[in-house]
Structure 1
Amino acid sequence: MPITLETVVFALVAVNLWTVLRFWQDKQRAATGKLRIPEGDLLGLALIGGSPGALLARRLFRHKTRKEPFSTRLTVIVMIQAGVLLGLVATS
């Protein structure tokens, strides 16, 4: 079965919604002193396509905005993804 544009868009919307939800949950857990969501999990969601959701959630919830090396790692993920996207657009 071929992968369609609609499937890719649906998957990206889903992973970004999930990413925003997980950032919100982590923020809530931080505020209440509960077990936190590992940074690796949050970065993993960004890596699989949830970086727009991660950036949005950081701004909306003011969460993990100054945390290092998390911020640098997220920035690197976003830059790599932007480069890949630009490369795909330039070669198509």
Structure 2
Amino acid sequence: MTVFQRYFLWYLLFINLVGVLAVCWDKLVAVKGWNNLPRRGFLWISRVPEKNFFVIALLGGSVGTYLAMRLIRHKTLHRSFMIGIPLIFLVEAALVVVGFLLL
């Protein structure tokens, strides 16, 4: 395994962890109703915008994002998430396989 491949795997691990944490945070804020709290200076609690889940998935965190969504049952009724995130994963998996074969 080359140095690039090793760093790439570490990157994928990190971005998938970010995806898991984003889904868990959004679920926590949604369940607790914290998004209705008043803003206090620079500290405020808010939900994660839906586009951010797709950005994280496009950056390589589709596996972590999807697994977290399924495990904690968050956003599972949204068709765009249940189709879009796995579709992003399939494209990324194909790119990773091709990339590892060429490098």
Q: TM-score, length-normalised on structure 1? A: 0.81
Per-residue CA shift, 1:25-75, capped at 9, x if unaligned? Answer: 000011122131011101111111101101220122111112122222212
Aligned-residue Cα RMSD (Å) equals 1.9
- Matched residue, 1:49: 60
Give the structure with higher Rg (CA): 2
1:82 Cα offset (Å): 2.5
1:86 Cα offset (Å): 4.0
- Matched residue, 1:60: 71
What is the letter of the counterpart of residue 36 of structure 1?
A: R
Work out whether residues 66 and 86 of structure 2, in 8 Å CA contact, stay in contact via their aligned partners in 1: no
Whole-Å separation in 2 of the counterparts to 1:81 and 1:9: 13
Work out whether residues 5 and 100 of structure 2, in 8 Å CA contact, stay in contact via their aligned partners in 1: no
Unpaired runs of at least 5, structure 1: none
- Matched residue, 2:26: 26
Work out whether residues 16 and 54 of structure 1, in 8 Å CA contact, stay in contact via their aligned partners in 2: yes
The count of residues paired between Structure 1 and Structure 2 equals: 90
Q: TM-score, length-normalised on structure 2? A: 0.74
Q: Percent identity?
A: 32
